[in-house]
Copies of this chain bind each other. A is one copy, B any other.
Amino acid sequence: MATVDAVETPAAEPDEDGPPVHVDVPELTKVLDGPYAEVRADVRKELARHAEVLEQAETLSRDEFRERVKDVIVEIAESGQAGLGFPAEYGGGADIGASIAAFETMGFGDLSVLVKMGVQFGLFGGAILHLGTKRHHDRYLADLIKGKLLGCFAMTETGHGSNVQALGTVATYDQGSDEFVIDTTTAAATKDYIGNAARHARVAVVFAQLDVGGERHGVHALVVPIRDEQGEVLPGVEISDDGLKMGLNGVDNGRISFQGVRVPRDALLDRFATVSEDGTYSSEIENPSRRFFTMLGTLVQGRTCVGAAGISAAKVALTIAVEYGDRRRQFEATSDDEEERLLDYGQHQRRLLPLVARTYALSFAQEVLTSRLHDVFSGITTDEVSRRHLESRAAGTKALATWHATRTIQECREACGGAGYLAVNRFTALKADTDVFTTFEGDNTVLLQLVAKGLLTDYASDFSDLDQLGMVRFVAGLAVDTVLEKTAVHKLLERVKDVLPGIEGGEQDTGVLDPEYHLAMFRFREEHQLGGVARRLKRGVDSGMNPGEVFSRVQDHVIAAARSHVERLVLEAFVERVQELPEGELRDVLNAVCDLHALSSIEADRAWFMEHGRLSSQRSKAISREVGALCRRLRPVAVDLVAAFGVPRQVLRSPDLLSWGENTDG
């Protein structure tokens, strides 16, 4: 038994830290709701009013449900909640931040409704607003805000989703008729997965390669009518249905192809580039790739919204699973004559409570993102760098939030056992509807590469035209030190050093519950991984390897670095929000939640920290024990923590799970 006996005796289980916690639920909801509490309250009422949609998703036929969802959208549009982000002169609310908060809160309800709203007001409406000029605004905005004109956003093609720059649809300027001619050049250039296309859209914003006088100017957007007032598909346009999907079947996704479809010259959304009557193409942005990325910048709103919706969906799942875990009993454990509540089992705490904590973290990160987006899109912040930071933050938060949603919903379903499999308990719809979030509005993996690219080129606009291959060549062309100095890395490093001077000396003196320690760990990881990526890219190219091959080999490292960057932003948002709160019980509780988030994140990546000399095996184990202790400490307020999410009871459904122990006696 030598080996077994030789093992160090583990320390005693740590006790729960600090005094017992207590939560003032309405106060905590206020903290979570942030600056848009009023808008969120309105949306909660609207959700409760339309709660029957959740059941109709199961009882109606697909066709009927699509019509029902459309009707709900139009009703919501009439309430004004859909137009919050549009200018007042067209009937909008002129508050972009509020529109994001409203959308986020809508994520508690049926997600077909949410996504169809996103398509109509975010993608279609957003394209008209941000890519068009006054003429287009005058022509479309008032009607689209009211839901009188339904449209779609025809960007993705069967052959190109992530690589939008390579789209195959062409818009050729015909000077004779002063029109653009839209053509789907190959089967792979068919517009695909387009929401609102199969049934309801009357116009499409079509992204196509602009061809003027035989010269290609890259991807541009044009408004193309696809159906007449009676809903008949127009000549030259062919539309088919994408058919049954895993979820979101209230949204009519379809395929569109164009054969010689003609639109007037002013159909071009010409905020960033115009074509004059004599066939002259002009743009304020000379570099074609930079122009392209500027246009694509409008996607930032969609990504922000998808991430927000993912967080809300996770909140719904956690509310059900935590309440059920608090009610449901199984097996005798601490008592011989009463079964134990599931949430009193350590494993059950471990599977749910860190997810609750991470949901809090992402909520606060989302609040920061919404506020930044508001500032940039309202013209409060106007510099180019802030816009690029915003794009990066939106991409990264979307990736983390949607993966978190997928994981959380799955864990919650399993934590509810067989009952979680019944559709009435919401997990069915939550899983199926949110599943596509990880790949739409930008595949998460591709989005994280975008984040990494920004970091490695310090968001320099000169390099915005570089794809991953260009990024490799760019980084390889500089000395490593120059890369690091040019990048965001060195700024971070200063902060790590300031805060944690002893970090290079092995074991830290700082306590594992000190937020400065958590932040220093997150910053160190980000900085180190980015430096490592730069080094590997450079070494690969220097050794004569094909840059594409170099990228392929370093790709997991690239993605890890981007993820660490976003993780750091998320933790900072949480820590800062907690530190803003007045001293008191609420702050104490949120501090513990923040600790749980930070430590369970470090625990999940503790191998990396050990490999890089930032954790001894002793401290690593201490962190795992602390995560267990924090779970036990927060267990008594677990139900309060999810209640504070403020998910309306009507949309939770789950009648048997949420009344467990009242109607049943098991």
Contacts and interface: CB of A to CB of B under 8 A. Distances in A.
A245 interface: yes
A1 interface: yes
A347 interface: yes
Interface string A206-248: 0000000000000000000000000000000000001111110
Interface in A523-550: 524, 527-528, 531-532, 535-536, 539-540, 543, 546-549
A493 B9 CA distance: 19
Interface in A148-197: 156-163, 166, 168, 186-189, 192-193
A617 B621 CA distance: 16
Given A189-B666, A414-B438, A334 B160 contact: no
Contacts of A665: 159, 186-188
A332 interface: yes
Interface in A435-470: 435-436, 438-440, 443-445, 467-469
A621 B435 CA distance: 33
B548 A333 contact: yes
A478 interface: no
Contacts of A66: none
A335 B331 CA distance: 61
A10 B620 CA distance: 23
Contact of A439 (B166, B414, B467): B414
A585 interface: no
A612 B607 contact: no
A379 interface: no
Interface string A424-436: 1001100110011
A469 B333 contact: yes
A3 B528 contact: yes
A300 interface: no
B422 A556 contact: no
Contact of A628 (B188, B432, B553, B611): B553
A9 B664 CA distance: 63
A490 interface: yes
A334 B417 contact: no
A649 B468 CA distance: 36
Nearest to A606: B607
Given A335-B548, A421-B246, A556-B347, A484 B4 contact: yes
A554 interface: yes
Interface stretch (A131-139, A338-346, A387-395): A338-346
- Closest 10 pairs between A and B when the two form their complex, measured CB to CB: A159-B666, A188-B666, A334-B548, A333-B548, A607-B607, A244-B423, A246-B428, A188-B664, A611-B617, A4-B531
Given A3-B496, A246-B413, 15 more contacts: A4-B489, A6-B504, A158-B656, A159-B664, A159-B665, A166-B339, A186-B665, A187-B663, A187-B664, A193-B421, A243-B424, A246-B423, A331-B468, A333-B549, A428-B432
Interface of A: 1-4, 6-7, 9-10, 12-13, 58, 156-163, 166, 168, 186-189, 192-193, 242-247, 330-335, 339-340, 344-347, 350, 406, 410, 413-414, 417-418, 420-424, 427-428, 431-432, 435-436, 438-440, 443-445, 467-469, 481, 484-485, 489-490, 493, 496-497, 503-504, 524, 527-528, 531-532, 535-536, 539-540, 543, 546-549, 551-556, 559, 606-607, 610-613, 617, 620-621, 628, 632, 656, 663-666
